Each structure stands twice: as C-alpha cells, then as structure tokens.
Amino acid sequence: MNVPDRAETAARAQPGPQLSVFDAVAVMVGLVVGIGIFRTPSIVADGVGSEAMFILVWLIGGVITLIGALCYAELASAHPHAGGEYHFLSRAYGRPVAMMFGWARCTVIQTGSIALVAFLLGDYISQVVPLGPHGPALYAALAVVVLTGVNVVGTAAGKNLQVVVTFIQIGAMLAIIGFGFFGPPAPASAPSIPVPEEAAALGVAMIFVLLTYGGWSDAAYLSGELRDAPRNIAKVLTLGTALLVALYVLANMALLSILGLDGLRASDAVAADMMRVAAGPSGELLVTLAVVVAAISTLNATIFTGGRVFYAMGCDLSVMRWMGVWNGRGGTPANAQIVQGVLSLALIAMGSVAPDGFKAMVDYTAPVFWMFLLLVGGALFVLRWRDPRRTLPFRVPLYPLTPILFCLTSAYMLYASVMHTGAAALVGLGVLIAGAPILLFQSNHSQPSGEPP
C-alpha cells in the first residue's frame, strides 16, 4: 500500500467549508469599514447643498451597494468557489478573460488596495511614533509582512484576528456615533450651493460615497470556504451590507450633528475634529486608534481574500502551478499569500517615492477595478442566458432591472475614475495590457478554475 508523502497530500488539498455566516460577515464588514469613512465625508459635503442631501447620498450609496451585493449573491450561490470573481468571469466569458482579470487582480487591484491601506496605516502610526520621512512606508511594509505571515499560518489565524479587530473597530465607531449624538449641537449651516453647481458636484460626491462602500465584492472569495455556501452566501452579503449602511449613515449623522455642513466642508480629518469638539484631546487619541484598528482590519481582510484569486489563477496556469497549491495543514493558499505579499511590498516601494503614496495607489487601481466589476455584472446575464433552466439557490430580485442598474453604475464609475485620475489611470491599464502574454501559458483543462464537470 502506497502512502502519499506530505508534499503530495498538500498538493491535493482543496478549500473546505470552515467559515460560518458570522465569520464571513465579520470579514466583509472588516473589508469595507476601514479607511474611507475617516477621509471622505468632507469631500462628500463639498458636493451637496444641504444636510438632508448629505445623508441622502449615503443612503443612495447603500442602496447601490445592496444591488451589487444581490447580484453577487446569485453568482456566488450558483458558482461557489475560492476564486470568486475570477471563477464567475471564467464561466461566463472563458478562461482568457478570467486570466486577464487574475493578472489585473494580482498586479493592480488587490495588491494596489493592500498597498494603499498599508500607507494610510503607516501615516497614522507615524503621527504617534514618527520614524522620519520614510516612516509611513516602513510601517506599511512591516504591516504587510506581519499580516501576510498571520494568514500564511492558516485560515483560522487570519479569521480569528479578523473577528477581533472588526469588533474593536465597530466598537470605536459606535463610540464616535455616541459622542456625536450626545455632544454639543452643530453650528448653523451654510446656505445651499446653487443648483447648477450642485448637479455637477453631486456626481463627485457619489464617486467618493461608493469608494467608501467599496470592498464588499471581496466577500465572493469566501464562497469556496463558507459552510453551505449556496444558501448562506446571500445571507452574508445582505446582512453585511445592511450593517454597513447602518454604521455609515449613523456615523455621518453624528459628524453632521457636531460639526454641521460648514464644519465638515472645512475639515481634513472629520472624525478627529468632531471628537476634539465633543471629548477634547482624549477624543482625538480615540479616533487615531480607531483609524489604526480600521486600517489593520481592512488590511488583514484584504490579504485574507486576495490570496484566493492568486490560488485560482495558479490552478489554471501551468507555469504558476506552484501558486495553485492549497496548504492542507493550515487550510490556506500559503504560496499565493506569499506572492501577494511580495507584489504588495513592491508597490509600497513604488509609492514611497510619490508625494502621496495613498493617492498614488488609488489612482493606480480605480479604473481597472470598475472595468472588471462591469464585466462581472454582465456575467450574470450571460450565465442565465446560457443555462436558462438551471435551478439557482438564490435569484436576484427584480431581474433584469437590478443587474442593469448595477452595470450602469459600474460603467459610470469607470468613466468617472478615468476622468478623475487622468494619466495615472493609464499606468494601471498599461500593466493590465502587459499581462496579455500570460494567455500563452494557460493549461489545457476543459473546466475553468476547478469547476466540477
């Protein structure tokens, strides 16, 4: 009797159901409730003409996010896989499109997102313990190394860390919300912006609202490891989105209550300014710690989910087969996590020479991200058309109106991000085009990314 050695056993290991709905919601919330809510409210306030409109755009952003989550719930419940969007695109358009997405995800979208969150974390830690002009980049690199190491150890370690930091993060946000509602009243609001200017500025406001809600789509990468994924992935996406909308709307109502619309427009650090008014210097320290925890939460969740697409791509590329190995002992794509960490460090090094590393990474990632999100929305139509009689565990409500709205929103965000980033968008698109030669190395398997016949 032949007994397989450890290497062979590890190579045969596959993702297994090890995440509960609670675990997956914690990862999803940790992905989204991060850096944006501490940066974007002042920009959004500049684009609206009244306090009511300020709250309304956050509600609209939540509705758009819910529409996208419902579309992803149908795709993920019908095609659960650790490869997430990579797998959906492969099923809908074929492996070449999926491989181009995998390349974009590995070199632009995921690694760029990791780098930009790491830069923000480095910026805030440097305010507490400065290390000189390159301090933020050094802290960013250290954070990526440590959190990648945690996730390489195993899925349980990464998941448990995520649950802890997400609870701390939500607790800090609830404290900010509480201080906001029970603090001193806001000063009088400024007159409304004239309607012609407001119409143009409102579009910019919505861009930043949706950027703040961004990250929810990464929950699709959990479907390959979620218990009873066909039934539970829809619960994860809808519950997670509802919690996000509640937190964001309440947080912005609290900010508005203390600072007013004028105060929001004039502030570069809205949460810190609000807490200074409501609770003094100790409130500022609380916010700084909250931002650090939020950044750690987002960074860990992004690293956790990102390795899954590297793994899926490795399964389909003969020259990267070693990246498609699932570590059976730790229950994690360890090789893929390491590759992701190395590429993220390279982007941090690149961003360290830019005037603003965070902004450089935003400009680098946004257009490519929205282009592929538009393709994922189209995949829902393609897969329904290709197999109209298939029994779906979850169907998106109000089809086809819901996915049409999702695709139109993604198309608008693609246009807006190209217009906003200008030449920086061409860098990300250039890296995407540079990945075309990987199509020459695709495997000859007939089934995409591990889909059973």
356 pLDDT exceeds 70?
A: no
- For the cut 50, the answer to whether the pLDDT of residue 339 exceeds it is yes
Q: Where does the pLDDT of residue 223 fall: very low under 50, low under 70, confident under 90, or very high at 90 and above?
A: low
Say what the pTM is. 0.74
- What percent of the chain is modeled with pLDDT above 70? 77
| Confidence band of 184 (pLDDT split at 50, 70, 90) | low
Across the range 284-310, mean pLDDT stands at: 75
- Asked if the model's pLDDT at residue 448 lies above 70, the reply is no
Mean pLDDT of 7-35: 66
Domains of the chain: 23-448 (1.20.1740.10)
For the stretch 224-243, pLDDT in tens is 678 877 778 888 888 888 88
Q: Is pLDDT larger for residue 71 or for residue 327?
A: 71
pLDDT attached to residue 203 = 67
Quickly state the pLDDT bin for 376 (edges 50, 70, 90).
very high
Average pLDDT, the chain: 77
Q: How much is the average pLDDT of 291-314?
A: 75
Q: How confident is the model at residue 4 (pLDDT cuts 50, 70, 90)?
A: very low
pLDDT grade for 217, boundaries at 50, 70 and 90: confident
pLDDT for position 380: 94
Give the C-alpha separation, 9 to 4, whole Å.
6
Check residue 12 and give its pLDDT. 47
Q: What is the pLDDT of residues 191-203, one digit of tens each?
A: 444 433 454 466 6
**pLDDT tens-digit series, residues 117-132:** 888 788 778 777 888 7
Q: What pLDDT score was predicted for residue 452?
A: 36
Residues 411-418, mean pLDDT to the nearest whole number? 83
Per-residue model confidence as pLDDT tens digits over 55-103: 999 999 999 989 988 898 888 888 877 667 888 898 999 888 888 888 8
- Widest Cα–Cα separation across the chain: 83
What local confidence, expressed as pLDDT, does residue 199 receive? 46
Which residue would you say has higher pLDDT here, 88 or 300? 88
What is the mean pLDDT of the segment spanning 7-33? Answer: 66
The pLDDT confidence band at residue 385, using thresholds 50, 70 and 90, is very high
Per-residue H/E/C for the chain: CCCCCHHHHHHHCCCCCCECHHHHHHHHHHHHCCCHHHCCHHHHHHCCCCHHHHHHHHHHHHHHHHHHHHHHHHHHHHCCCCCCHHHHHHHHHCHHHHHHHHHHHHHHHHHHHHHHHHHHHHHHHHHHCCCCCCHHHHHHHHHHHHHHHHHHHCHHHHHHHHHHHHHHHHHHHHHHHHHHHHCCCCCCCCCCCCHHHHHHHHHHHHHHHHHHHCCHHHHHHHCCCECCHHHHHHHHHHHHHHHHHHHHHHHHHHHHHHHHHHHHHHCCCHHHHHHHHHHCHHHHHHHHHHHHHHHHHHHHHHHHHHHHHHHHHHHHEHHHHHHHCCECCCCECHHHHHHHHHHHHHHHHHHCCCCCHHHHHHHHHHHHHHHHHHHHHHHHHHHHHHCCCCCCCCCCCCCCHHHHHHHHHHHHHHHHHHHHHCHHHHHHHHHHHHCHHHHHHECCCCCHHHCCC
